[in-house]
Amino acid sequence: MEELIGHCCTCEKPIYCKMGFLDGVMQADKSLVCFECSGEAEKEKVTVEPQK
């Protein structure tokens, strides 16, 4: 069973609830992002290690 929940705020791809599981990521501001766009966002993050 699939139910349309909304659209990705980055690429506008439809995001569904499939068998009770969200087919994307809900961000802190309640916006939806598809898995593809959320993966790209993770790649773009730059982590800085604390200096000792």
**Confidence (pLDDT) at 13:** 95
The answer to the question of residue 33 being in a domain is yes
**Confidence (pLDDT) at 40:** 64
Q: What is the number of domains present in the chain?
A: 1
**Confidence (pLDDT) at 26:** 92
The answer to the question of residue 48 being in a domain is no
- Within the chain, which residues score under 50 in pLDDT? none
The answer to the question of residue 11 being in a domain is yes
The answer to the question of residue 14 being in a domain is yes
- Is residue 15 within 8 A of residue 31, CB to CB? The reply is no
Say what percent of the chain tops pLDDT 90. Answer: 67
**Confidence (pLDDT) at 25:** 92
- Is residue 25 within 8 A of residue 39, CB to CB? The reply is no
